[in-house]
Chains A and B, each alone.
Chain A
């Protein structure tokens, strides 16, 4: 079974801090995604990566950066956290071509981040 693990379930940080959210998957998936989820707005894509050291901006990349140094790990970075980045953050992964061959995305359990 695919396992997508996010390093923290709950995280509280202060405005201006640099925040790292880590995501690890154990199925050798090429594609990894970071979403945020807010009430009334649903899931929105922040960044995704389709290979090591490759990254693509999603729909709301402002204020975020990502790092993919190893295939199994995809990190989301808030360079200088702000209160409007308080949200639920979800990581997901899928095998390359999964959308064509009918594989589902696999999600982590989420990190609920509060910026005070």
Chain B
């Protein structure tokens, strides 16, 4: 079993829908990252969380440390949100990140 599990692996939705991507992990962590990767490969850091909730524009990320679970929400989704969204955790005391397998999101107009 992977230390970081994301669901769903693939998600297709219509423009305007509310999107939720989930991430569960099994180790103690110092931080959790949500990353976005567009076709072509470049990866952008969206959020880094250690507790609570963060919001940036139409994106919201939450984390529940006790339940070892995080969610990424997209409100009023748009075709330009189509990308792979990756959850990654930094285990406590570690230098390196552990990655989920990613969620491929496609928003149709």
Contact = CB atoms under 8 A, between A and B. Distances in A.
A58 B41 contact: no
A106 B48 contact: no
B99 interface: yes
A110 B31 contact: no
B106 to A, nearest CB: 15
Interface residues on A, range: 20 to 34
Given A42-B100, A88-B41, A109-B40, A104 B95 contact: no
A41 B30 CA distance: 24
Contact of B41 (A33, A90, A103, A104): A90
Interface in B25-69: 30-31, 33, 35, 40-45, 48, 50
B45 A105 contact: yes
A37 B101 CA distance: 10
- Most A C-beta atoms less than 10 A away, residue of B33, B35, B43: B43
Contacts of B88: 43
A74 interface: no
B43 A107 contact: yes
A83 to B, nearest CB: 20
Interface in A62-84: none
B44 to A, nearest CB: 8
Given A42-B99, A45-B96, A104 B43 contact: no
B95 A48 contact: yes
Contact of B99 (A43, A50, A103, A109): A43
Contacts of B105: none
Contact of A48 (B43, B96, B101): B96
A30 B100 CA distance: 25
8 contacts: A37-B41, A43-B99, A50-B95, A102-B31, A102-B48, A107-B45, A109-B42, A110-B42
Given A100-B30, A105-B97, A109-B42, 10 more contacts: A42-B102, A44-B99, A90-B43, A99-B31, A99-B94, A104-B45, A107-B44, A107-B45, A109-B40, A112-B41
